[in-house]
Amino acid sequence: MPHRKKILLLATGGTIASRKSESGLKPGISPQELIAFLPGVEEICDITAVELLNLDSSNMEPAHWKKMAHAIKENYGAYDGFVIAHGTDTMAYTAAALSYMVQNTKKPVVITGSQKPADLEITDAKTNLLDSFRYATDDHSQGVQIVFDGKVIAGTRARKTRSKSYNAFSSMDFPCLAVIQDGSIMRYLPMLPYEEEVSFYEELDENVFLLKMIPGIRPRVLGSIFEQYHCIIVESFGVGGIPRSVSGEFYRLCQQYPDRLVIMATQVAHEGSDMTVYEVGHDIKKHCHFLESYDMTLEAVIAKAMWMLGNYKIAEDNIEEIFYRKINYDVIFGREGR
């Protein structure tokens, strides 16, 4: 007789668990009620439901990621997989963060949610939850993924690209790992077994700042940013570069704060950065030591920076090697593809 899988549902709030109020939707559906909305779910697996958080996901913070990682670690031996019910607005950040905090997990960690609350007659919540439980109980599933609108997306490749439609998430510059249709899982990429044992990390350094370049940006606040934050991620134009309006002060501050981690990224959604193409990018390579995100998603860059700074020391560890180490498909080509 096949082993009947045990799945732990960790509810965190979000639209999927929201009800209407006088001031708009807010979380109010218990995890037990979520399960009660799912026809036939008892045929898929045994579910234990826990309300870990009760938040609109706009209020999600790194401290909450630590709580999720800790809950998975504490219950890892007792369950065959984990489903996290989450709001969509910060789901991609959470999926990326858990990819670094729960590594080499042979037991799947599935993150899902919905664009409409579960208690509505017309909603995507029931399908997304059922698909997530199916995926979490499949013998070939592992790692941290988002399951949403029939797509299985690696935790570091997801981005919310639509604010209202059911197909809210896209896998950025990387194929979906699988699709789920009519209860069947069709895999596009084989899941190679992890050679290393599962590793849990519960430390994060939240002192990460995202600096977005805009036309005409001025250096007024750069000094304060470099003074207060351990990592500055620059979301630049195109393939990357620092515009002349701030470059002088930026270069000076890089020299003044050599212990700051500077990461160059791009605000363009697809195809990544390459700082060697234009003069504005080439110049910063001459004046500053920094890492370049290449084909990583911005969500993954932010989460990986917090994880690295929380667990390694810039002055003592090989931060560059750690940053470009592939974790859950976060780096596709990186430096080698340029």
Active site residues: 15
Per DSSP bridges, beta strands 46-55 and 6-13 are parallel
The residues near 140 (Cβ < 8 Å, ≥ 6 apart) are 185, 187, 191
Instruction: Report the C-alpha gap between 289 and 320 in whole angstroms.
Output: 11
Q: Please, what is the angle between helix 244-256 and helix 279-287, to 10°?
A: 20
Instruction: Report the C-alpha gap between 36 and 212 in whole angstroms.
Output: 44
DSSP string computed for 112-181: E--SS-TTSSS-SHHHHHHHHHHHHHSTT--SEEEEETTEEEETTTEEE--SSSS--EEETTS--SEEEE
For the stretch 63-70, contacts whose Cβ atoms lie closer than 8 Å and that sit 24 or more positions apart, written own/partner, are 64/12, 65/94, 65/97, 65/98, 65/101, 65/204, 66/101, 66/202, 66/204, 68/10, 68/12, 68/94, 68/98, 68/101, 69/98, 69/101, 69/102, 69/200, 69/201, 69/202, 70/202
| H or E element, residue 304 | helix 298-311
Q: Is 277 exposed, middle or buried (0-12, 13-18, 19+ CB in 10 A)?
A: middle
**Residue in the structure block whose two tokens are 């605000």:** 267
Residue of 59, 7, 51 whose CA lies nearest to 28: 51
Residue of 298, 18, 293, 40 whose CA lies nearest to 156: 298
The residues near 337 (Cβ < 8 Å, ≥ 6 apart) are 294, 295
